[in-house]
Amino acid sequence: MTTGPEPKPESTWETKSEAPSLEFQDTAERPESALDRLRGLMREEFAEYGGGEAFLKWLRTDPGDDGPREWGTTMEIRYTLTIKDYSAGNSLMLRNSGFGRRLGYWQATWLGPLMGVWLFCVGFVLIYPKLADPWMAAVVFVVGLVAFSAPLRYRRLLRKRFAMQKLDTELLVTASSAGIEVKRESRDAETRYGWSAIEKQMETEELFVLFPNMVQFLPIPKRVMTPEQQQEFRGLIAASMAIGVSR
């Protein structure tokens, strides 16, 4: 007795998968996206400025009278600090400090002599025959003399500090977008300040003065700089301190 072919086991039955097939689309046929167009524009910009690095440098430039200048520009200022520079910087620091330090500065400049004159007048009144009080008059005269001599003692104190710190030496100040570096040529010592560490900067007719804090100050005399260098340094300070504060 012959029989037909045996049926296949269920495990070997062929089933048609309903999962969708992955079809790769040719990039030439794919529509151009906004990102592709942006990449194309950036490549054109980079090529126009000579590459990506040159383009980034152009973004960091500051247009001025002499053309664009990079923020990374470094300035070197070499000078010898004088007692006049130190005194002017110290006066600027005291005038912009708290009330107590300002009062001390006023006493050392104009308030002391004014008080001294007033006390001398009081002393003369005390020795007037009808109000004769020689001891009180002597005390008033001594206090008046101390007050009147305040400017002289203030100048002597400044000269003493100037000599003790040996500031009458050649300084090399290097300024860049990274900060300020002060180097003493004769003592091979240097101090560095980042722009974020500079609390304030001020300018007078004779000086640029930077304040790392309200106890320290760095005077940079304008006499060692040309008008063009002064303008360049002024712009570098303004731009770099703005960046330092934003950080």
- How many domains does one find in the chain? 2
158, 188: one domain? no
Taken in order 112, 117, 120, 121, is the CA torsion positive or negative?
negative
Within a 13 Å sphere around the CA of 191, how many CA atoms are in the beta-carbon half? Answer: 11
Whether 177 and 239 map to the same domain: the answer is yes
Does some domain include residue 21? no
Cβ neighbours of 135 (radius 10 Å):
8
The tens digit of pLDDT for each residue in 206-247 reads 999 999 887 889 999 999 999 999 999 998 888 877 654 444
Identify whether residues 135 and 196 lie together within a single domain. no
Provide the pLDDT for residue 10: 45
Tell me, yes or no, whether 139 and 176 share the same domain. no
pLDDT at residue 41 is higher than 60: no
Please state, rounded to an integer, the average pLDDT across all residues of the chain.
Answer: 76
Of the residues 140, 164, 188, which one is the last residue of a structural domain?
A: 164
Among 127, 143, 164, residue at a domain's last position = 164
Question: What range defines the domain where residue 233 resides?
Answer: 75-82+167-246
Integer CA distances (angstroms), 77 to 7, 43, 111, in order: 100, 41, 37
Residues 123 and 154 in one domain: yes
Whether the CA torsion 136, 142, 147, 148 is positive or negative: it is positive
Residue 189 pLDDT > 80, yes or no?
no
Are 136 and 159 members of one domain?
yes
In this structure, is residue 142 part of a structural domain? yes
Residues 209 and 173 both lie in one domain:
yes
- Whether the per-residue pLDDT at 44 is higher than 80: the answer is no
Residues 206 and 190 in one domain: yes
SS3 label, residue 30: coil
Assigned domain for 123 exists: yes
Q: Do 201 and 158 fall into the same domain?
A: no
Of the candidates 212, 208, 215, 203, which has an alpha carbon nearest to the alpha carbon of residue 94? 215
SS (H, E, C) 177-220: CCEEEEEECCCCEEEEEEHHHCCEEEECCCEEEEECCCCCCEEE
| Pairwise CA distance, residues 240 & 236, whole Å | 6
140-153 pLDDT per residue, tens: 999 999 999 999 99
83 within 8 A of 158, measured Cβ to Cβ:
yes
- The CATH number given to whatever domain includes residue 233 is 2.30.29.30
Q: Do residues 207 and 222 make contact, with C-beta atoms less than 8 angstroms apart?
A: yes
Neighbour tally for 87: CB within 10 Å: 16
Per DSSP bridges, beta strands 61-64 and 218-221 are: unpaired
174 and 112, same domain (yes or no): no
Residue 16, in any domain of the structure: no
Q: Which residue has the tokens 């007719």?
A: 205
Tell me: do 190 and 136 sit in the same domain. no
What pTM value is reported for the model? Answer: 0.64
Mean pLDDT lowest for which of 4-13, 47-56, 110-119, 132-141?
Answer: 4-13
Query: Is residue 44 included in any domain, yes or no?
Result: no
Distance, in Å, from the CA atom of 128 to the CA atom of 141, rounded to the nearest integer, reads: 14
CA angle 90, 92, 97 (to 5 degrees): 95
Question: Which position has the higher pLDDT, 153 or 129?
Answer: 153
145 contacts 116 by C-beta, under 8 angstroms = yes
Domain boundary among 139, 164, 189: 164
Do the domain assignments include residue 122?
Answer: yes
**Is the residue at 154 inside a domain?**
yes
Could you tell me which residue, 50 or 233, shows the higher pLDDT? 233
Compute the average pLDDT of residues 101-129. Answer: 91
Examine residue 62 and state whether it is found in any structural domain, yes or no: no
Band (187; pLDDT cuts 50, 70, 90): low
Whether 3 shows a pLDDT value over 60: the answer reads no
151 and 177 in a single domain? The answer is no
- What does DSSP assign to residue 225? S
Name the 3-class secondary structure at 77: strand
